[in-house]
Amino acid sequence: MDTNDNRPVFLDLRRIRFPAVALVSIGHRVSGVMLFASLPVALYLFGLSLQSAEGYDRVSSLVAQPLFKLLLVPYAWFLSHHLFAGIRHLLLDMEIGVEREQARLGAGLAIGAGLIMLLIALVAVW
């Protein structure tokens, strides 16, 4: 590939603007990939909990572990951010909230709702 060494490069992270609509979008992707990555663990626990009374008790005691609860905190954000950003996407598809100001508001609401769920999860684990 041909590269032109005189191209201007602008990667000053303090000056690159990252508006809410960009944050909600990249957050949607990151949370989606993380949910997918945690799927085998979720399936394992789901299967074990239904296998036998012993399996159910093992899952219950594991879920009660402080370390496991701590792992659930980011998971609460992955799940809720992905859900709220997804609902925003479905509304945009129905042409609700497409105008710039509304789009910003919607993005802010989705990010905020995800962060509130994260906070609730943190308090619940405390």
Q: Are 85 and 20 in contact (CB under 8 A)?
A: no
- Pick the binder of other proteins from 27, 77, 79, 106 (CB under 8 A): 79
Closest CA relative to residue 74, chosen from 124, 31, 123, 24: 31
Cα distance between residue 94 and residue 61, in whole Å: 44
Q: Which of 41, 56, 63, 68 binds other proteins (CB under 8 A)?
A: 56
Q: How far is the CB of 14 from other proteins (least distance, A)?
A: 25
Contacting positions for other proteins (CB under 8 A): 29, 32-33, 36, 39-40, 43, 46-47, 49-53, 56-57, 79, 83, 86-87, 89-90, 93
